[in-house]
Amino acid sequence: MATERLRAELDTVAELDLAGFFLTASEVTDYCRAHGILAAGRGSAAGSVLCFLLGITLSDPLKHNLLFERFLHTGRTSMPDVDIDIASSRRDQVLRWVEERWGLSGAGEAMVANRITYRLPSAVQDLGRALGVPPELRDRLSRALGRDYRHHRPHRAREAAEVFTEVLGEAPVKEALLNLLERIEPRFVRHLAPHSGGVVLSREALTAYSPLTRSSGGIRMLTFDKDDVEALGLIKLDLLGLRMLGALERAREEVLRLTGQWLPYGELPDDPTVWREIGTGDTMALFQIESPAQVQMTARLQPRDLTQLAHQIALIRPGPIQSGTVHPYVRRARGEEPIPELPEPLATILAPTHGTLLFQEQILRIAVHYAGMTWPEADRFRSRLTKVEDEAEKAQLREAFVDGAAGTTGAFPWEAEAVFGTCAAFRGYGFAESHAHAFAAHSYASAYLRRHHPAAYFAAFLTEAPGMWPASTIAGEARRRGSAWRRCVSTAVG
C-alpha cells in the first residue's frame, strides 16, 4: 500500500513537473535537521507520503489515512502550499541561509509582498494632510469612522458623508476629500510590507518577473503578492516561526545536556501516562489545548491517541462550531448518543468522526464518491462553497451536487440536498485533517516533555513564551509540579 501510494504521488508530481518544488522544500528542512533546528511541515502537505519521506513533514499520512488530493492532484493549476514551521528563535538563521543559498549570487530569493490597502480612517489622515485639513479635524474624523470599523461595519466614503458634514461642515474641502476618498478607498495600495512567511525561490533572477525592493527592516521583497506569485508558477515556501517549536527545541537540547538522551520528535513513545494526564484536563503549557474551551473539551473527550487529539484540536474552530458539529461529535464520542445510520459512501467517509463533518478532506471525499465529481472539480466545489455569498451561485452548486449524487449513488433529491446543506454549513475556518494531525503531534510532544522532563520543559517554555498564560502563572505551575514531583519521589523512597 505504501509503495502504491508513493508511486501515485510521484506520478502526479511528474505530470505537474513539480520535482524541483519538492527538492527545494526538502533542502530547507535538511538544512534545519543538519543544524539541530526543529522544523516541521504542516497544512495539507502533511497528507503526502512523499513529503514525509523527504523529511518535510513529521507525521506518517498512511497511519492516519490522510488525503493526498487535498494537497495535490493532476488537475491542479496552481503551485501547492507547503507551510514549514520553524523554531522561532532560529528562523532568522534559516532565512539568512536561504538568502545565501538562492539569493546572493543571482537574486533568486525574496519575500512575497503584502499589499496594505487603505481603510477609510487611514485614508482620511493621508489625504486630509495633503489637503491641509488641520490635525485635530483629521483625528476627529478618524475616531468617528474608526468606531464603525471596530464594530465590523466597513463602509465607503459616500455612505459616511454625514460624519464628514458633522465634523467639517460644508467647507469646500469636504467635497474634495470625499471625491478623493471614493477613488482610493478601499482598493488603493498604501504601501507594501513583507509577507509573514512567504519566500519565493528561483534558479534565475527574480528581476525577470518583478522589481525587487527592501522593506524598512531590510528584507528583500518582491512587489507581487502571493496570488501574483502563484499565477506566475514561482516556487513559494511559507517559512513560519513557531514559538512552541522553539520551546521544544530548547527542551530537547537541555535533556540531551543533562541526560545524554536525544528525543526524536515525530517518533516519541506512545505513553499511556501522558494520555492519562491530558485526559484529566490538566493542559496548562501544552500546545493548542491549554485554552479554557480546550481544557473542557479535553476533560470530556479524554483523547487516547493522536487521531482523537487531532479531532479535538479541530473541533474548536469556526467551521465545526458554525456547522453544529461540536455537540453531536462529543455526545457520540462519549457514547451518549447513537451514530445515525448513513448510506454509503457517507457512512465510511464520516465514520472516523462519528458521523459528523469535521474536516475539509471529508467534503472532498463526499464530492468525489457521493456526487461523482473529479478531484479537480471537488477542490473547486469545496473552495467555492466555503466562500459563496450569492444565492444564485449557491443554487448552481446545489444543482450540480444533487444531479451528480443522483447519477453516482442514486440518491433522491431531498437526500442529496440535505448532504449539500451539511457541507454548505461548514463555513468559516475549519482545519484540513492533515493540518490537525501535524498540530496534534506538537501537542503530544509538549505533553511528553512536560511529563518526563518538567524542569527542562518549563525552563524552555518560559524562555520562548509560546502559550496564552502570563509567565507568573507558568512559573507557579512549574513550582507546583516540582513540589508534587518531590513528594512522589520521597514517598517512593520511603
Check whether residue 152 and residue 124 sit in a common domain: yes
Confidence check: pLDDT of 486 > 60: no
Q: Indicate whether 46 and 156 sit together in one domain.
A: no
Same domain, 136 and 173: yes
Burial state string for 68-102 with b = 16 or more CB within 10 A and e = fewer than 16: bbbbbbeebeebbbbbbbbbbbbbeebbeebbebb
Q: How confident is the model at residue 107 (pLDDT cuts 50, 70, 90)?
A: low
Q: Is 296 domain-assigned?
A: no
pTM of this prediction?
0.83
Interval 232-288: pLDDT, tens: 878 888 889 999 999 999 999 999 999 999 999 888 999 999 999 999 999 999 999
Higher pLDDT, residue 74 or 131: 131
Q: What is the mean pLDDT of residues 295-308?
A: 93
Q: Which three cell numbers, joined as nine digits, stand for 340?
A: 445515525
pLDDT at 88 over 50: yes
Structure confidence at residue 494 as a pLDDT band (50, 70, 90): very low
pLDDT score at 430: 78
Beta strand 189-201 pairing with 235-242? antiparallel
Average pLDDT over residues 171-192: 78
pLDDT at 154: 44
Same domain, residue pair 9 and 101: yes
Q: Could you tell me which residues come within 8 angstroms of residue 214 by beta carbon, excluding any fewer than 6 positions away? A: 220, 221
Instruction: Tell whether 86 and 199 lie within a shared domain.
Output: yes
Percent of the chain predicted with pLDDT > 90? 47
- Predicted confidence at residue 153, as pLDDT, reads 43
Flag whether 489 is in a domain: no
Distance CA 364, CA 374 (A): 10
Closest Cα to residue 363, out of 401, 326, 317, 312?
A: 401
In this structure, what C-alpha cell is assigned to residue 427? 463555513
Tell me the average pLDDT across 223-228. 84
Helices then strands (H, E): number in the chain?
23, 7
**CB of 174 within 8 A of CB of 164?**
yes
Whether 49 contacts 88, CB under 8 Å = no
Q: Answer yes or no: do 233 and 201 share one domain.
A: yes
Alpha helices (runs of H) in 410-470, residue ranges in sequence order: 413-425, 433-452, 454-464
Residue 206 is predicted with a pLDDT of 84
Residue 165 lies in a domain: yes
Residue with the larger pLDDT of the pair 200 and 306: 306
> Do 83 and 165 share a structural domain?
no
List the beta strands (DSSP E) in 5-158: 39-42, 83-87, 109-117
Residue with cell 472516523: 352
Q: Name the more confident of 389 and 312.
A: 312
pLDDT at position 103: 66
Handedness of CA 353, 306, 76, 241 (dihedral sign): positive
Q: Quick one: average pLDDT of 126-149? A: 78
Looking at the domain assignment, is residue 468 inside a domain?
no
Question: What per-residue confidence (pLDDT) applies to 151?
Answer: 40
CA pair distance 230, 81, nearest whole angstrom = 10
Among 243, 272, 307, identify where a domain stops: 243
Higher pLDDT, 169 or 442: 442
Tell me what pLDDT residue 274 has: 96
Answer yes or no: is 128 within a domain. yes
- The 3-state DSSP class for residue 192 equals strand
| Domain annotation covers residue 436 | no
Whether residue 58 is found in the same domain as residue 175: no
Look at residues 424, 429, 365 and name the one whose alpha carbon lies nearest to residue 391. Answer: 424
Going across the sheet that includes 220-222, the strands are 39-42, 83-87, 235-242, 189-201, 109-117, 220-222, 212-214
Residues 102 and 123 reside in one and the same domain? no
Lowest mean pLDDT segment, chosen from 53-57, 143-147, 440-444 = 143-147
Residue 484, pLDDT > 60, answer: no
Are 237 and 373 found together in one domain? no
In a domain, 480, yes or no: no
Q: Looking at 187, 204, 229, which one is the last position of a domain?
A: 187
Contact between 69 and 279 under an 8 Å Cβ cutoff? The reply is no
pLDDT, mean over the chain: 86
Q: Is residue 453 part of a domain?
A: no
Percent of the chain whose predicted confidence (pLDDT) is above 70: 92
**Region 408-431: what's the mean pLDDT?**
88
* 171: containing domain: 119-187
Checking if the pLDDT of 492 tops 50, the result is no
Query: How many domains would you assign to the chain?
Result: 3
Judge if 79 and 142 occupy the same domain: no
Rounded Cα gap, residues 446 and 325, in angstroms: 27
Phi then psi for residue 242, to 5 deg, are -125, 115
How does 108-136 read in b/e, with b if 16+ C-beta sit within 10 Å?
Answer: bbbbbbbbeebbbbbbbbbbbeeeebeee
Alpha carbon separation from 146 to 130, 141, 153, 347 (Å, rounded): 20, 8, 10, 49
Do 175 and 45 reside in the same domain of the chain? no
3-state secondary structure of 112: strand
Joined grid coordinates for residue 107: 537574486
Task: Tell me how far apart the alpha carbons of residues 24 and 68 are, in angstroms, rounded to a whole number.
Answer: 19
